[in-house]
Structure 1
Amino acid sequence: MFEEGHTYAAYLKVVAGAVLTSLALVFVRRRWFSFLSDIPGPFLGSFSVLWQIIHAIKGHTEEETIAEHKKHGDFVRIGFNEVSIGHPNAINEVLKSQMNKGDWYRIFSLPDSRYVNQMSEVDAKRHITKTKNVAPGYAFSNVIKAEPQVAR
Structure 2
Amino acid sequence: MKHWITVGLIAAATTAAAEEPFMYVTDQSFDDVTFGLESAIIDAGLVVDHISHTGDMLERTRADVGSDVVLFEAADVYSFCSATVSRSVMEANPLNLMYCPYDIFVAVLADKPGETIIGFRPYPDGPMQEVHDLLDGIARAAIGLE
The two structures share one fold, judged by TM-score above 0.5: no
Which protein is richer in strand relative to its size?
A: 2
Structure number with higher relative contact order (C-alpha < 8 Å, ≥ 6 residues apart): 2
Larger radius of gyration: 1
TM-score relative to the length of structure 2: 0.23
